[in-house]
Structure formats: structure tokens, C-alpha cells
Structure 1
Amino acid sequence: MKPFKSFILFSFGMLTFTACSDDEPAPEPINEEEIITTFTATFVPQGGGTTITLQSRDLDGDGPNPPEVTVSGDFAENAIYDGTIVLLNETETPAEDITTEVEEEDEEHQFFYTVGSSLNANLEYANFDGNGNPLGTAFTMTTTTASSGTIAFTLRHEPLKPNSGLADAGGETDLAVTFSVNIQ
């Protein structure tokens, strides 16, 4: 009977030893996606003029109501605008500024700008991640002649960096909004 007790104690000890092993990798922390209810792009003309604001606000998320999309006015011809993007989660009080998190995790995010072919404007990145790749929460827009068209903003999470644009960036879309605008 003594060998049987020794066998039981030895087996229990081995189970305890293997259960406490550090060979198993620790699970990766879950980085839950943030809720973005409000996108605001502000365009400030260099040299003075009227600031233009584009906003998409969707307080019910995937709910039945469509986002409220507003454009505060028309862009001027032959102008250069300094632009900034602000992302908010307005389901919380006070509203949480998601822009801060995107900028802190700059290597894991990138905004892409798509200017419709009929709009005489060009957007360029004005801020970059720690590796020198585009981030895009700040940008410059240059307009030329009068036209009408669209500007789309797409935020990708964990895109391939560097990339040549939205088509080969991969990653997951956190936000996609499109605005109809005019240059007068």
C-alpha cells in the first residue's frame, strides 16, 4: 500500500508542478474598439477667411436612425486650409475624446482621404506616426477652381504601413464618412 501512496503523492505533485508552469504564453490583452459617435473635420483657411466644418453624428450607432451629416459652408477657390479631425464618443458624459487614443496608438491607425473626381481639391497628410508613416488626424487641403463633389474620410485600425493608399492598406475600418461639398 505504501508504494500506492507514494505514487498518488508523486502524481499530485507533478500535476501541481505542471499546472504552475510558466511555459504557457500570457493571453494578449483585448483592445476593444472604441465607440465613435461623432466625426468632425475642421478646415481653417490660411491667411484668414471662413472656417468650414464637416460633421457626421450618429448617436444611436448601428440603430435605426441615420447619421446627421452637416457641412457648414462652401470652400473658397484657390485656397489652402489647415485641417484637423476630432472623434468623440458622445454615449458617455462628458463625451470621450477618441482622437487622443488614435494619436497615442498612431502606429495602429491611419486616416485615408478620398476626393471625388469632380472636386478640384487635394488633401495631404500633416501628421505622422512614430515611424514616419501617415496618421492623418491633421491635414492640409488645397482647392483650385469652382466645383462640387465628395470628400470621404476612412479610419483604418491596424493597416499595413507603409501603404500606397486605402486599396492596399488592409486593416479594419473603424469609421467611414462621406460629405458632399462645394468650392465657390
Structure 2
Amino acid sequence: MMKNIKSTNTIKLLALLFVSSLAFVGCSSDDDGHHDDHDHEEELITTVRYTLTNGTDIVTLEFQDLDGEGGADGTYDVSGPLTANTTYTGAIKLLNETENPADDITLEVEDEGDDHEFFYTTTISDITISKNDIDEDGNPIGIATTFVTGDAGTGSLTIELIHEPTKPNDGTSINAGGSTDVEVTFPIQVQ
């Protein structure tokens, strides 16, 4: 009998230690300087608007999903074709339009620039996109861009916002690590 009681007490003690270690791991603090509270995950992004401007030549690419993930599919709208061999000034805006007035999530991304970076990937080889804004450490954020078209062509443009990417990185989201806050792909045409 004593052996059974001792064995039962040992099992209870091991179970208690296991549960305690899980609680310790789950509540451990992050001392590497990165914010691990993931408040960004609670922000709803209903609208991604990328505006490209060259004088009166303005092209707007907009994704909108007012009911958020899991509801109706979002909509994509591209206001028109881009002009070949042209330099555009690009500006991206993220909104939560379930709020009134709409909450500008771009301001939060800018404030937390060291924890965010936009990545722009196009299937049209004659397009180059440069990021013009930097975080407090001198690494790119990508809210402001220069978008240069080459010859005529048709393809797509993918815009990704990565949270806590490795900085500096090689300029691609593939090797940046972190987690994706938003990713949208637009059909684009250069003529």
C-alpha cells in the first residue's frame, strides 16, 4: 500500500511541476528588446490603399474588406493603368473603416517602424520600387515609395506588411521572418 500512495504522490507532484513549468513558459517575459504583446494582431485592417502619383497621373490600388477576415470576400479595385517609363511617388494607407471616423492604422505602423516593414513584389520585371522612409535605426519601412515603370506589360503587384521582420534584410519578405499583418495582390497594367 505504501508503494501505491508514494507512486500516486509522485505522479501528482510531477503533474504539478509540469503545469507550473507551462505557466512559467507562457508568462515569461521577452528580454530581447522586441515587443511580444502582439497588440498589432488586435488591429483590424479593412482597407489597403496604395496611391501612385505623377502630376495629374494618379493610379489608386485599393483592397477593401469591411467585415474582416472570415466574412464576405474583400474587393480589389485598380483605378487604371500605369504609364510606361514613368516615375511615381507612392504612398500606402491602412485603415480600419469599421470605426467612425476610420482609424488610420498607418500612423501606428509609422510609430512602430522598427517593428514593421512593407514589401512590394511585382511580376513585371521592368518595375522598380524603392522605399523612401526609415525607422529610428535607419532601416526601411516602406510607407513612402518611389515606383518606376519601364516598358508596357501586364502582371501583378503584391504588398505585404510584416510585423517584427529581421532588419536589415535582403529586401524580400521571403527572408525577412516575422509575421504577416496584411498581404494583398493587385492586377496591374503598364501601357
TM-score range (shorter-chain normalised) is 0.7 to 0.9
Question: In structure 2, what residue type is equivalent to 1:83?
Answer: G
Rg comparison, structure with higher value: 1
CA distance in 1, matches of 2:137, 2:58: 31
Question: In structure 1, what residue type is equivalent to 2:66?
Answer: L
Q: Where does structure 2 lack aligned partners over 5 or more consecutive residues?
A: 1-27
Question: Structure 1 stretches (4+) deviating beyond 6 angstroms?
Answer: 25-29
2:176 aligned residue (165, 169, 174): 169
Is residue 179 of structure 1 aligned with residue 176 of structure 2? no
Alignment of 1:108-147 (within 5 A): 108-116=115-123, 118-147=124-153
Question: In structure 2, what residue type is equivalent to 1:35?
Answer: L
CA distance in 2, matches of 1:125, 1:132: 12
Residues 146 and 30 (structure 1), Cα distance of their counterparts in 2 relative to 1, 3 Å cut? same
CA distance in 2, matches of 1:55, 1:129: 25
* DSSP-derived class of the 1:59 partner: coil
CA distance in 1, matches of 2:152, 2:67: 36
Question: In structure 2, what residue type is equivalent to 1:122?
Answer: T
Quote how far apart the aligned CAs of 1:135 are. 0.2
Is residue 95 of structure 1 aligned with residue 125 of structure 2? no
Quote how far apart the aligned CAs of 1:26 are. 7.8
Residues 119 and 93 (structure 1), Cα distance of their counterparts in 2 relative to 1, 3 Å cut? same
TM-score (norm. length: structure 1): 0.81
TM-score (norm. length: structure 2): 0.78
Q: Where does structure 1 lack aligned partners over 5 or more consecutive residues?
A: 1-24
Quote how far apart the aligned CAs of 1:29 are. 7.7
CA distance in 2, matches of 1:85, 1:71: 14
Residues 99 and 146 (structure 1), Cα distance of their counterparts in 2 relative to 1, 3 Å cut? same
CA distance in 2, matches of 1:82, 1:53: 12
* DSSP-derived class of the 2:108 partner: helix
Quote how far apart the aligned CAs of 1:91 are. 1.2
Residues 62 and 93 (structure 1), Cα distance of their counterparts in 2 relative to 1, 3 Å cut? same
* DSSP-derived class of the 1:87 partner: strand
Residues 78 and 35 (structure 1), Cα distance of their counterparts in 2 relative to 1, 3 Å cut? same
Residues 183 and 87 (structure 1), Cα distance of their counterparts in 2 relative to 1, 3 Å cut? same
2:59 aligned residue (45, 52, 56): 52
Q: Is the 8 A contact 1:119 1:149 kept in 2?
A: no
Measured on the aligned residues, the alpha-carbon RMSD in Å equals: 1.9
User: Identical aligned pairs, as a percentage?
Assistant: 43
Is residue 39 of structure 1 aligned with residue 48 of structure 2? yes
